[in-house]
Amino acid sequence: MEQDFLTLYDDFTLGVAAYKRLKHKTFIFCYLNEQGKKLDNFDVKNYGKIIHEVYPELEEFGLVDQLEEVYQTGQQIIIPFSAYSAFPNKTIFRANKIKKVGKDMIINIYNDESETYSYIKDIKKNNNKVNEALAILSHQIRGDVSTSLGLIELHKQKLIEPNRLECSLDLVKKNLENIDFTIHDLVDVLFKKTTDE
């Protein structure tokens, strides 16, 4: 009956694994659909074997504890976007949905989210670069604005000697040109970022 039920998952685009509980925190493989076999590089000789003996990393990932929790409570667990080390120097990101079926069977529906994680990482990396550039440009603009406002205030209070006035106005003009140039650069950077995305 349960095996007939599991065939409904054969053509799922997500990985589906079914585990049977033998005893406390001890589950064996009893089913993987084609996508699950592909995602886990699963050898069919492992049917009937204890899952954390075939994939020791699943214990560190916490999957065995979660399977036991679902078995004990009967409540499904959704694990969004978690990382675990599957091979030396390789981390896999998975999203899992675990639920109990029947008396002692647990179903795990999962997907490899490593590509999604890679996109998020790249976006964060690019955002960090843009934020660094914005911080530098912002500092330059504030410096030019502060200098210009200071010179204007000195002029209003008649603290600039008449023979130095033209030099001060030239400096304010240069600062405003720098600000204008920086704003154009900033608009170009932001426009390029939005069109690249």
In order of their start, the domains of the chain are 2-112 (3.30.450.20), 118-196 (1.10.287)
Q: For 3-25, how does the pLDDT look when each residue is reduced to its tens digit (9 = 90+)?
A: 667 888 888 888 999 999 999 99
Task: Supply 111's token pair.
Answer: 């997907």
Do 48 and 22 touch, CB atoms closer than 8 A? no
Q: For 85-103, how does the pLDDT look when each residue is reduced to its tens digit (9 = 90+)?
A: 666 667 777 888 999 988 8
**DSSP-derived pairing of the beta strands 77-87 and 15-23:** unpaired
Q: For 1, which DSSP code?
A: -
pTM score over 0.95:
no
Q: For 121-149, how does the pLDDT look when each residue is reduced to its tens digit (9 = 90+)?
A: 666 676 766 677 677 777 677 777 787 77
Helix (H) or strand (E) holding 149: helix 114-156
Backbone angles phi, psi at 169, to 5 degrees: -65, -35
Predicted pLDDT of residue 118: 63
Q: Tell me the C-alpha distance between 45 and 32, whole Å.
A: 12
Does 73 have pLDDT greater than 80? yes
Helix (H) or strand (E) holding 158: none
